[in-house]
Structure 1
Amino acid sequence: MPPGFLLVTSEPGTLVSLEEFHDWYNNEHVPLRVKHLPAFLTGARFGAADSLNPSWLAVYDIDDTATFKHESYTRLRANRSQRESDLVQRLELLDRRTYEVVADSGESSLTSSYKPSNPIKCLITHWINFSGDESSFHTWSNDAFRSLSSVEGWARTRTYKCIDNLKTGTGVAKDPEAQIVPKYLAVHEVLSLSVAELPDFVVASNPGSVARVEEIRCWNLYRAYSTIAQENVVSSS
Protein backbone atom coordinates (compact mmCIF):
# COMPACT_ATOMS: atom_id res chain seq x y z
CA MET A 1 0.00 0.00 0.00
CA PRO A 2 1.19 3.60 -0.54
CA PRO A 3 2.85 5.73 2.12
CA GLY A 4 0.43 7.60 4.34
CA PHE A 5 0.16 11.06 5.80
CA LEU A 6 -1.81 12.22 8.83
CA LEU A 7 -2.79 15.87 9.11
CA VAL A 8 -4.70 17.31 12.05
CA THR A 9 -5.79 20.91 12.47
CA SER A 10 -7.12 22.06 15.80
CA GLU A 11 -8.46 25.04 17.69
CA PRO A 12 -8.46 25.07 21.51
CA GLY A 13 -11.36 27.52 21.75
CA THR A 14 -12.54 29.20 24.94
CA LEU A 15 -12.85 26.03 27.05
CA VAL A 16 -9.21 24.93 26.74
CA SER A 17 -6.31 27.17 27.67
CA LEU A 18 -3.32 27.30 25.35
CA GLU A 19 -1.12 26.01 28.19
CA GLU A 20 -3.36 22.97 28.72
CA PHE A 21 -3.59 22.37 24.98
CA HIS A 22 0.18 22.35 24.45
CA ASP A 23 0.84 20.25 27.55
CA TRP A 24 -1.58 17.59 26.33
CA TYR A 25 -0.28 17.62 22.77
CA ASN A 26 3.43 17.65 23.66
CA ASN A 27 3.41 15.29 26.63
CA GLU A 28 0.64 12.82 25.88
CA HIS A 29 -0.94 12.90 22.44
CA VAL A 30 2.16 13.09 20.21
CA PRO A 31 4.44 10.81 22.31
CA LEU A 32 1.85 8.01 22.33
CA ARG A 33 2.22 7.92 18.56
CA VAL A 34 5.78 8.84 17.65
CA LYS A 35 7.47 7.16 20.63
CA HIS A 36 5.58 3.88 20.45
CA LEU A 37 4.57 3.24 16.84
CA PRO A 38 7.41 2.60 14.33
CA ALA A 39 4.93 3.35 11.54
CA PHE A 40 5.09 7.04 12.51
CA LEU A 41 8.22 8.12 10.66
CA THR A 42 8.03 11.81 11.55
CA GLY A 43 5.90 14.20 13.57
CA ALA A 44 5.79 18.00 13.71
CA ARG A 45 3.48 20.78 14.79
CA PHE A 46 2.99 24.19 13.22
CA GLY A 47 1.21 27.36 14.24
CA ALA A 48 -0.84 29.55 11.94
CA ALA A 49 1.13 32.40 10.38
CA ASP A 50 -1.89 33.98 8.70
CA SER A 51 -4.11 34.84 11.72
CA LEU A 52 -6.76 32.41 10.48
CA ASN A 53 -8.46 29.52 12.26
CA PRO A 54 -7.75 26.75 12.95
CA SER A 55 -4.59 27.95 14.65
CA TRP A 56 -2.67 24.68 14.94
CA LEU A 57 -1.49 22.00 12.56
CA ALA A 58 0.07 18.60 13.27
CA VAL A 59 1.59 16.46 10.50
CA TYR A 60 2.96 12.93 10.50
CA ASP A 61 4.60 10.84 7.78
CA ILE A 62 3.28 7.27 8.00
CA ASP A 63 5.04 4.24 6.50
CA ASP A 64 1.89 2.71 5.00
CA THR A 65 -1.78 3.68 4.77
CA ALA A 66 -2.61 0.25 6.28
CA THR A 67 -1.42 1.71 9.59
CA PHE A 68 -4.60 3.78 9.81
CA LYS A 69 -6.64 0.59 10.29
CA HIS A 70 -4.14 -1.29 12.41
CA GLU A 71 -5.12 -2.02 16.00
CA SER A 72 -1.90 -0.50 17.33
CA TYR A 73 -3.10 2.86 16.00
CA THR A 74 -6.90 2.66 16.27
CA ARG A 75 -6.73 1.69 19.94
CA LEU A 76 -5.18 5.05 20.77
CA ARG A 77 -8.50 6.74 20.07
CA ALA A 78 -10.64 3.88 21.32
CA ASN A 79 -8.84 3.80 24.68
CA ARG A 80 -8.13 7.44 25.40
CA SER A 81 -7.03 8.47 28.86
CA GLN A 82 -9.58 10.26 31.00
CA ARG A 83 -7.58 13.44 30.59
CA GLU A 84 -7.57 13.23 26.81
CA SER A 85 -11.24 12.30 26.59
CA ASP A 86 -12.19 15.28 28.72
CA LEU A 87 -10.00 17.72 26.79
CA VAL A 88 -11.08 16.54 23.32
CA GLN A 89 -14.71 17.13 24.27
CA ARG A 90 -13.88 20.74 25.12
CA LEU A 91 -11.87 21.58 21.99
CA GLU A 92 -13.50 23.92 19.53
CA LEU A 93 -12.12 21.87 16.64
CA LEU A 94 -10.19 18.68 16.04
CA ASP A 95 -10.07 18.01 12.30
CA ARG A 96 -8.30 14.73 11.49
CA ARG A 97 -7.58 13.82 7.87
CA THR A 98 -5.71 10.78 6.60
CA TYR A 99 -4.09 10.74 3.18
CA GLU A 100 -2.16 8.58 0.80
CA VAL A 101 0.82 10.02 -1.05
CA VAL A 102 0.20 10.88 -4.70
CA ALA A 103 3.57 12.40 -5.62
CA ASP A 104 6.72 13.71 -3.95
CA SER A 105 9.30 16.11 -5.36
CA GLY A 106 11.90 14.35 -3.20
CA GLU A 107 13.94 15.13 -0.13
CA SER A 108 15.75 18.45 -0.18
CA SER A 109 19.34 19.10 0.85
CA LEU A 110 18.09 22.31 2.44
CA THR A 111 16.03 20.68 5.18
CA SER A 112 15.10 17.36 6.80
CA SER A 113 11.39 18.16 6.40
CA TYR A 114 9.78 17.14 9.73
CA LYS A 115 12.77 15.59 11.50
CA PRO A 116 14.08 17.51 14.54
CA SER A 117 17.51 17.97 12.97
CA ASN A 118 17.19 20.94 10.59
CA PRO A 119 13.39 20.81 10.26
CA ILE A 120 11.55 22.91 7.71
CA LYS A 121 10.52 26.21 9.25
CA CYS A 122 7.49 27.05 7.11
CA LEU A 123 4.68 25.32 5.26
CA ILE A 124 2.16 26.48 2.70
CA THR A 125 -0.83 24.17 2.37
CA HIS A 126 -3.19 24.10 -0.60
CA TRP A 127 -6.44 22.13 -0.27
CA ILE A 128 -7.59 21.31 -3.79
CA ASN A 129 -10.62 19.91 -5.56
CA PHE A 130 -9.47 18.41 -8.85
CA SER A 131 -11.87 17.80 -11.72
CA GLY A 132 -9.80 15.06 -13.35
CA ASP A 133 -8.86 11.61 -12.10
CA GLU A 134 -5.95 10.72 -9.84
CA SER A 135 -3.60 10.04 -12.75
CA SER A 136 -4.23 13.56 -14.01
CA PHE A 137 -3.50 14.96 -10.57
CA HIS A 138 -0.28 12.94 -10.46
CA THR A 139 0.74 14.37 -13.84
CA TRP A 140 0.00 17.91 -12.68
CA SER A 141 2.00 17.30 -9.47
CA ASN A 142 5.11 16.29 -11.39
CA ASP A 143 4.75 19.24 -13.76
CA ALA A 144 4.45 21.55 -10.74
CA PHE A 145 7.57 20.06 -9.14
CA ARG A 146 9.63 20.92 -12.22
CA SER A 147 8.40 24.51 -12.16
CA LEU A 148 8.79 24.90 -8.41
CA SER A 149 12.40 23.71 -8.51
CA SER A 150 13.43 27.10 -9.90
CA VAL A 151 11.65 29.09 -7.17
CA GLU A 152 14.09 30.55 -4.67
CA GLY A 153 13.27 29.47 -1.12
CA TRP A 154 11.25 26.41 -2.13
CA ALA A 155 12.45 23.10 -0.67
CA ARG A 156 9.93 20.34 -1.28
CA THR A 157 6.32 19.65 -2.26
CA ARG A 158 4.26 16.55 -1.67
CA THR A 159 0.72 15.94 -2.88
CA TYR A 160 -1.88 13.69 -1.31
CA LYS A 161 -5.35 12.21 -1.75
CA CYS A 162 -7.69 12.21 1.24
CA ILE A 163 -8.90 8.73 2.21
CA ASP A 164 -10.71 9.51 5.48
CA ASN A 165 -11.59 12.49 7.65
CA LEU A 166 -13.49 13.44 10.77
CA LYS A 167 -14.20 16.81 12.36
CA THR A 168 -15.23 16.99 16.00
CA GLY A 169 -15.49 19.82 18.50
CA THR A 170 -17.82 22.32 20.09
CA GLY A 171 -17.62 24.53 17.00
CA VAL A 172 -18.47 21.81 14.45
CA ALA A 173 -21.99 21.85 13.04
CA LYS A 174 -24.01 18.62 13.17
CA ASP A 175 -24.88 19.00 9.49
CA PRO A 176 -23.23 16.25 7.38
CA GLU A 177 -21.93 18.95 5.03
CA ALA A 178 -19.60 20.08 7.82
CA GLN A 179 -17.63 16.87 7.22
CA ILE A 180 -16.99 17.53 3.53
CA VAL A 181 -13.34 18.35 2.77
CA PRO A 182 -11.35 18.84 -0.45
CA LYS A 183 -10.13 15.58 -1.95
CA TYR A 184 -6.53 16.61 -2.60
CA LEU A 185 -3.79 18.40 -0.71
CA ALA A 186 -0.46 19.95 -1.63
CA VAL A 187 2.04 20.67 1.14
CA HIS A 188 4.83 23.02 0.15
CA GLU A 189 7.93 23.20 2.34
CA VAL A 190 9.53 26.63 2.07
CA LEU A 191 12.38 28.41 3.80
CA SER A 192 10.34 31.58 4.23
CA LEU A 193 6.67 32.40 3.88
CA SER A 194 7.62 35.24 1.55
CA VAL A 195 7.80 32.49 -1.09
CA ALA A 196 4.00 32.48 -1.10
CA GLU A 197 4.03 35.93 -2.69
CA LEU A 198 6.53 35.16 -5.43
CA PRO A 199 4.86 35.19 -8.87
CA ASP A 200 6.76 32.08 -9.97
CA PHE A 201 5.50 30.16 -6.94
CA VAL A 202 1.93 31.35 -7.42
CA VAL A 203 1.94 30.22 -11.05
CA ALA A 204 3.72 26.89 -10.44
CA SER A 205 1.49 25.88 -7.52
CA ASN A 206 -1.79 26.78 -9.22
CA PRO A 207 -3.51 23.80 -10.89
CA GLY A 208 -5.32 26.15 -13.26
CA SER A 209 -8.58 25.30 -14.98
CA VAL A 210 -8.49 21.59 -14.05
CA ALA A 211 -8.86 22.31 -10.35
CA ARG A 212 -9.99 24.74 -7.71
CA VAL A 213 -7.81 25.64 -4.74
CA GLU A 214 -10.32 25.72 -1.89
CA GLU A 215 -8.04 26.99 0.84
CA ILE A 216 -4.48 28.27 1.19
CA ARG A 217 -2.86 28.43 4.61
CA CYS A 218 0.58 29.48 5.88
CA TRP A 219 2.28 27.92 8.90
CA ASN A 220 5.38 28.41 11.06
CA LEU A 221 7.13 25.53 12.80
CA TYR A 222 6.28 25.11 16.46
CA ARG A 223 8.15 21.87 17.15
CA ALA A 224 9.50 18.79 15.36
CA TYR A 225 9.59 15.54 17.33
CA SER A 226 12.01 12.65 17.35
CA THR A 227 10.35 9.30 16.68
CA ILE A 228 11.09 5.70 17.57
CA ALA A 229 11.47 5.04 13.83
CA GLN A 230 14.25 7.62 13.61
CA GLU A 231 15.91 6.25 16.74
CA ASN A 232 15.81 2.72 15.33
CA VAL A 233 17.58 3.90 12.17
CA VAL A 234 20.32 5.56 14.24
CA SER A 235 20.79 2.56 16.53
CA SER A 236 21.03 0.11 13.62
CA SER A 237 23.53 2.18 11.61
Structure 2
Amino acid sequence: MTEHPLFKSSDSGLLLVFMEPGAAVTLPEFHTWYDEEHVPLRIQRFTTFRSATRYAVTSTALTPTGVNNAPDSTWGAFYTISDNSVFADSSYTSLRSERSEREAELFTRLAIVDRRIYRLEYDSDSDETITVDRTKLGLAIQTEQATPTYIVTNSIDMIDSASQEEYNKWFAEEHIPMLAKVKGWRRSRRFTLIDAGVNGTGKSGEEVVPKCLGLHEWDEAPEEEEQYRVACGTKWRKDVLGGEGEPKLVRRERKTCQLYRAWDPLAAIEAERKK
Protein backbone atom coordinates (compact mmCIF):
# COMPACT_ATOMS: atom_id res chain seq x y z
CA MET A 1 0.00 0.00 0.00
CA THR A 2 1.11 3.57 -0.69
CA GLU A 3 1.96 5.66 2.37
CA HIS A 4 0.28 9.04 2.73
CA PRO A 5 0.38 11.73 5.46
CA LEU A 6 -3.31 11.16 6.20
CA PHE A 7 -3.79 7.50 5.28
CA LYS A 8 -1.27 5.46 7.28
CA SER A 9 -0.84 1.70 7.35
CA SER A 10 -0.47 1.88 11.13
CA ASP A 11 -4.03 3.23 11.46
CA SER A 12 -7.29 1.34 11.33
CA GLY A 13 -10.42 3.31 10.67
CA LEU A 14 -13.83 3.74 9.17
CA LEU A 15 -15.24 4.74 5.81
CA LEU A 16 -18.66 6.29 6.31
CA VAL A 17 -20.74 7.44 3.36
CA PHE A 18 -24.09 9.14 3.84
CA MET A 19 -26.20 9.49 0.71
CA GLU A 20 -29.46 11.07 -0.33
CA PRO A 21 -30.75 9.75 -3.68
CA GLY A 22 -33.00 12.77 -4.27
CA ALA A 23 -35.90 13.16 -6.66
CA ALA A 24 -33.88 12.22 -9.75
CA VAL A 25 -32.96 8.71 -8.50
CA THR A 26 -35.55 6.07 -7.59
CA LEU A 27 -34.98 3.91 -4.52
CA PRO A 28 -35.00 0.63 -6.51
CA GLU A 29 -32.35 2.08 -8.86
CA PHE A 30 -30.30 3.35 -5.93
CA HIS A 31 -30.39 0.06 -4.00
CA THR A 32 -29.68 -2.11 -7.04
CA TRP A 33 -26.56 -0.10 -7.91
CA TYR A 34 -25.34 0.05 -4.30
CA ASP A 35 -25.99 -3.61 -3.46
CA GLU A 36 -24.94 -5.23 -6.74
CA GLU A 37 -22.05 -3.00 -7.83
CA HIS A 38 -20.78 -0.42 -5.35
CA VAL A 39 -20.33 -2.57 -2.23
CA PRO A 40 -19.16 -5.77 -3.99
CA LEU A 41 -16.36 -3.90 -5.76
CA ARG A 42 -14.88 -3.06 -2.37
CA ILE A 43 -15.42 -6.19 -0.28
CA GLN A 44 -14.35 -8.54 -3.09
CA ARG A 45 -11.16 -6.68 -3.94
CA PHE A 46 -9.68 -5.25 -0.72
CA THR A 47 -8.62 -7.29 2.31
CA THR A 48 -8.60 -4.11 4.40
CA PHE A 49 -12.41 -3.90 4.23
CA ARG A 50 -13.30 -5.92 7.34
CA SER A 51 -17.03 -5.24 7.31
CA ALA A 52 -19.63 -3.60 5.11
CA THR A 53 -23.10 -2.57 6.24
CA ARG A 54 -25.85 -0.28 5.01
CA TYR A 55 -28.32 1.51 7.26
CA ALA A 56 -31.41 3.62 6.76
CA VAL A 57 -30.98 6.93 8.59
CA THR A 58 -34.09 7.25 10.76
CA SER A 59 -33.35 10.64 12.37
CA THR A 60 -30.87 13.50 12.20
CA ALA A 61 -30.42 16.23 14.81
CA LEU A 62 -28.08 19.18 14.22
CA THR A 63 -26.84 21.65 16.83
CA PRO A 64 -26.81 24.50 16.10
CA THR A 65 -28.98 24.46 13.00
CA GLY A 66 -27.69 26.37 9.98
CA VAL A 67 -25.65 26.17 6.79
CA ASN A 68 -22.43 25.25 8.59
CA ASN A 69 -23.70 21.77 9.47
CA ALA A 70 -23.34 18.57 7.47
CA PRO A 71 -26.16 17.86 4.99
CA ASP A 72 -29.11 15.62 5.76
CA SER A 73 -29.15 12.16 4.18
CA THR A 74 -31.42 9.12 4.45
CA TRP A 75 -28.94 6.28 3.79
CA GLY A 76 -25.56 5.41 5.28
CA ALA A 77 -22.85 2.86 4.43
CA PHE A 78 -20.35 1.85 7.13
CA TYR A 79 -17.07 0.09 6.29
CA THR A 80 -14.61 -0.94 9.03
CA ILE A 81 -11.05 -0.63 7.69
CA SER A 82 -8.02 -2.50 9.08
CA ASP A 83 -5.39 -0.42 7.22
CA ASN A 84 -6.10 3.18 6.25
CA SER A 85 -3.30 3.28 3.66
CA VAL A 86 -5.76 1.61 1.27
CA PHE A 87 -7.31 5.05 0.65
CA ALA A 88 -4.07 6.28 -0.96
CA ASP A 89 -3.40 3.17 -3.01
CA SER A 90 -3.89 3.43 -6.77
CA SER A 91 -5.93 0.22 -6.82
CA TYR A 92 -8.48 1.94 -4.60
CA THR A 93 -8.39 5.44 -6.06
CA SER A 94 -8.91 3.94 -9.51
CA LEU A 95 -12.43 2.96 -8.43
CA ARG A 96 -13.35 6.58 -9.09
CA SER A 97 -11.44 7.11 -12.32
CA GLU A 98 -12.63 3.79 -13.75
CA ARG A 99 -16.28 3.96 -12.75
CA SER A 100 -18.78 2.02 -14.83
CA GLU A 101 -21.02 4.00 -17.15
CA ARG A 102 -23.97 3.30 -14.86
CA GLU A 103 -22.20 4.59 -11.75
CA ALA A 104 -20.73 7.65 -13.49
CA GLU A 105 -24.13 8.64 -14.82
CA LEU A 106 -25.88 7.97 -11.51
CA PHE A 107 -23.44 10.25 -9.66
CA THR A 108 -24.60 13.16 -11.83
CA ARG A 109 -28.11 12.74 -10.37
CA LEU A 110 -27.53 11.87 -6.71
CA ALA A 111 -28.60 14.67 -4.36
CA ILE A 112 -25.97 14.14 -1.63
CA VAL A 113 -22.76 12.09 -1.47
CA ASP A 114 -21.26 12.77 1.97
CA ARG A 115 -18.01 10.75 2.23
CA ARG A 116 -16.02 10.61 5.48
CA ILE A 117 -12.79 8.77 6.39
CA TYR A 118 -11.81 8.33 10.03
CA ARG A 119 -8.93 7.09 12.18
CA LEU A 120 -9.85 4.83 15.11
CA GLU A 121 -9.01 6.31 18.53
CA TYR A 122 -10.96 4.16 21.01
CA ASP A 123 -12.71 0.78 20.82
CA SER A 124 -14.67 -0.65 23.74
CA ASP A 125 -13.78 -4.15 22.50
CA SER A 126 -10.16 -3.36 23.41
CA ASP A 127 -11.01 -1.71 26.73
CA GLU A 128 -10.30 -4.18 29.54
CA THR A 129 -12.30 -2.08 32.00
CA ILE A 130 -15.53 -2.73 30.07
CA THR A 131 -17.27 -5.92 31.13
CA VAL A 132 -20.72 -6.88 29.94
CA ASP A 133 -22.93 -9.67 31.25
CA ARG A 134 -25.15 -10.07 28.21
CA THR A 135 -27.48 -12.52 29.93
CA LYS A 136 -28.46 -9.82 32.44
CA LEU A 137 -28.99 -7.33 29.65
CA GLY A 138 -31.57 -9.60 28.08
CA LEU A 139 -29.64 -10.21 24.84
CA ALA A 140 -29.98 -13.40 22.87
CA ILE A 141 -26.67 -15.26 23.17
CA GLN A 142 -27.10 -16.94 19.80
CA THR A 143 -27.25 -13.56 18.03
CA GLU A 144 -24.33 -12.00 19.89
CA GLN A 145 -22.11 -11.94 16.79
CA ALA A 146 -24.81 -10.70 14.41
CA THR A 147 -24.67 -7.25 12.86
CA PRO A 148 -26.15 -4.61 15.21
CA THR A 149 -29.58 -3.55 14.06
CA TYR A 150 -29.41 -0.01 15.45
CA ILE A 151 -26.57 2.52 15.35
CA VAL A 152 -26.23 5.96 16.92
CA THR A 153 -23.62 8.35 15.51
CA ASN A 154 -22.62 11.40 17.52
CA SER A 155 -20.31 13.75 15.61
CA ILE A 156 -18.99 16.81 17.43
CA ASP A 157 -16.54 19.70 17.24
CA MET A 158 -15.23 21.02 20.56
CA ILE A 159 -14.10 24.61 21.03
CA ASP A 160 -10.41 23.78 21.60
CA SER A 161 -7.94 20.91 22.17
CA ALA A 162 -8.26 21.04 25.96
CA SER A 163 -12.04 20.63 25.70
CA GLN A 164 -11.56 17.75 23.27
CA GLU A 165 -9.17 15.99 25.64
CA GLU A 166 -11.69 16.31 28.47
CA TYR A 167 -14.40 14.95 26.16
CA ASN A 168 -12.21 11.95 25.29
CA LYS A 169 -11.58 11.27 28.97
CA TRP A 170 -15.30 11.46 29.82
CA PHE A 171 -16.16 9.24 26.84
CA ALA A 172 -13.83 6.40 27.93
CA GLU A 173 -14.03 6.71 31.72
CA GLU A 174 -17.71 7.44 32.34
CA HIS A 175 -19.90 7.39 29.24
CA ILE A 176 -19.01 4.00 27.77
CA PRO A 177 -18.96 2.14 31.13
CA MET A 178 -22.47 3.51 31.74
CA LEU A 179 -23.73 2.67 28.24
CA ALA A 180 -22.38 -0.86 28.64
CA LYS A 181 -24.95 -1.42 31.39
CA VAL A 182 -27.90 -0.47 29.17
CA LYS A 183 -29.99 -3.23 27.60
CA GLY A 184 -29.04 -3.86 23.98
CA TRP A 185 -25.61 -2.19 23.97
CA ARG A 186 -23.04 -3.93 21.77
CA ARG A 187 -19.99 -1.75 21.23
CA SER A 188 -18.80 1.87 21.13
CA ARG A 189 -15.94 3.41 19.19
CA ARG A 190 -14.50 6.89 18.85
CA PHE A 191 -12.90 8.18 15.65
CA THR A 192 -11.15 11.29 14.37
CA LEU A 193 -12.07 12.60 10.93
CA ILE A 194 -9.08 12.73 8.56
CA ASP A 195 -10.76 13.37 5.21
CA ALA A 196 -14.21 14.36 4.01
CA GLY A 197 -16.03 15.63 0.96
CA VAL A 198 -19.63 16.52 0.17
CA ASN A 199 -20.94 16.50 -3.40
CA GLY A 200 -24.21 16.13 -5.27
CA THR A 201 -27.01 18.15 -6.81
CA GLY A 202 -28.38 18.97 -3.34
CA LYS A 203 -25.15 20.41 -1.94
CA SER A 204 -25.59 23.93 -0.60
CA GLY A 205 -23.13 26.28 1.04
CA GLU A 206 -20.03 25.08 2.86
CA GLU A 207 -21.16 22.00 4.72
CA VAL A 208 -18.93 21.17 7.67
CA VAL A 209 -18.47 17.63 8.98
CA PRO A 210 -17.64 17.51 12.73
CA LYS A 211 -14.24 15.96 13.42
CA CYS A 212 -14.94 13.66 16.39
CA LEU A 213 -17.27 10.70 15.86
CA GLY A 214 -18.75 8.49 18.56
CA LEU A 215 -20.23 5.35 17.01
CA HIS A 216 -22.51 3.25 19.22
CA GLU A 217 -23.89 -0.16 18.23
CA TRP A 218 -27.11 -1.56 19.68
CA ASP A 219 -29.44 -4.54 19.36
CA GLU A 220 -32.39 -2.20 19.82
CA ALA A 221 -33.09 1.50 20.24
CA PRO A 222 -32.01 2.54 23.78
CA GLU A 223 -33.57 5.99 24.05
CA GLU A 224 -36.51 4.88 26.23
CA GLU A 225 -34.28 3.02 28.70
CA GLU A 226 -33.85 4.85 32.01
CA GLN A 227 -30.19 3.82 32.30
CA TYR A 228 -29.54 5.36 28.88
CA ARG A 229 -31.10 8.68 29.88
CA VAL A 230 -29.03 8.68 33.07
CA ALA A 231 -25.84 8.01 31.08
CA CYS A 232 -26.63 10.97 28.82
CA GLY A 233 -27.44 13.38 31.64
CA THR A 234 -24.58 13.19 34.14
CA LYS A 235 -22.89 16.21 35.67
CA TRP A 236 -19.58 15.32 34.03
CA ARG A 237 -21.23 15.26 30.61
CA LYS A 238 -22.81 18.66 31.19
CA ASP A 239 -19.48 20.07 32.34
CA VAL A 240 -17.70 18.63 29.29
CA LEU A 241 -20.14 20.16 26.82
CA GLY A 242 -20.49 23.46 28.65
CA GLY A 243 -23.56 25.64 29.03
CA GLU A 244 -24.95 28.85 27.64
CA GLY A 245 -22.51 30.95 29.62
CA GLU A 246 -19.46 28.90 28.71
CA PRO A 247 -20.15 26.73 25.64
CA LYS A 248 -17.50 24.15 24.79
CA LEU A 249 -19.39 22.41 22.00
CA VAL A 250 -19.19 24.15 18.61
CA ARG A 251 -21.44 21.83 16.62
CA ARG A 252 -23.06 18.44 16.92
CA GLU A 253 -24.66 16.00 14.51
CA ARG A 254 -26.58 13.03 15.89
CA LYS A 255 -28.00 10.33 13.62
CA THR A 256 -29.91 7.15 14.39
CA CYS A 257 -29.71 4.33 11.85
CA GLN A 258 -31.62 1.08 11.30
CA LEU A 259 -29.95 -1.90 9.61
CA TYR A 260 -30.81 -2.42 5.96
CA ARG A 261 -28.21 -4.99 4.83
CA ALA A 262 -24.81 -6.45 5.81
CA TRP A 263 -22.12 -8.21 3.76
CA ASP A 264 -19.28 -10.58 4.56
CA PRO A 265 -15.84 -9.08 3.71
CA LEU A 266 -15.05 -11.63 0.99
CA ALA A 267 -11.47 -10.58 0.17
CA ALA A 268 -10.50 -10.48 3.84
CA ILE A 269 -12.04 -13.90 4.50
CA GLU A 270 -10.23 -15.42 1.52
CA ALA A 271 -6.91 -13.93 2.65
CA GLU A 272 -7.35 -15.50 6.11
CA ARG A 273 -8.04 -18.90 4.55
CA LYS A 274 -4.78 -18.77 2.59
CA LYS A 275 -2.62 -18.14 5.65
Please state which band the TM-score falls in when normalised by the shorter chain: 0.7 to 0.9
**Corresponding position of 1:208:** 241
Gaps in structure 1 of 5+ consecutive residues = 112-116
Gaps in structure 2 of 5+ consecutive residues = 1-9, 62-71, 127-131, 243-247
Instruction: Map Cα deviations across residues 7-26 of structure 1 (whole Å, 9 max, x no partner).
Output: 00001101100000000000
Q: Aligned ranges for residues 22-171 of structure 1 at < 5 Å?
A: 22-50=31-59, 53-106=72-125, 118-133=146-161, 135-143=165-173, 144-171=175-202
Amino acid paired to 2:197: L
Match of 2:211 among 183, 194, 217: 183
**Corresponding position of 1:6:** 15
Count, aligned residues: 232
Q: 1:191: Cα distance to partner?
A: 1.5
Judge conservation of contact 2:14–2:80 (CA < 8 Å) in 1: yes
Q: 1:51: Cα distance to partner?
A: 7.8
Q: 1:208: Cα distance to partner?
A: 2.7
The answer on 1:16 being equivalent to 2:44 is: no
**2 CA distance for matches of 1:104 and 1:195?**
22
Amino acid paired to 1:141: F
Say which one has the larger Rg: 2
Instruction: Map Cα deviations across residues 82-139 of structure 1 (whole Å, 9 max, x no partner).
Output: 110000110000100000011111178769xxxxx61110001111112343654542
Judge conservation of contact 2:46–2:268 (CA < 8 Å) in 1: no
**1 CA distance for matches of 2:79 and 2:233?**
28
Give the match's secondary structure for 1:106. helix
Paired-residue identity, %: 33
Q: 1:154: Cα distance to partner?
A: 1.4
**2 CA distance for matches of 1:145 and 1:236?**
37
Instruction: Map Cα deviations across residues 175-234 of structure 1 (whole Å, 9 max, x no partner).
Output: 4x22x2111111110111133663134237955334356111111000010112452266
Q: 1:40: Cα distance to partner?
A: 0.6
Judge conservation of contact 1:102–1:138 (CA < 8 Å) in 2: no
194-203 vs 151-160, greater mean Cα deviation: 194-203
**1 CA distance for matches of 2:224 and 2:212?**
19
TM-score (norm 2): 0.75
**2 CA distance for matches of 1:229 and 1:87?**
26
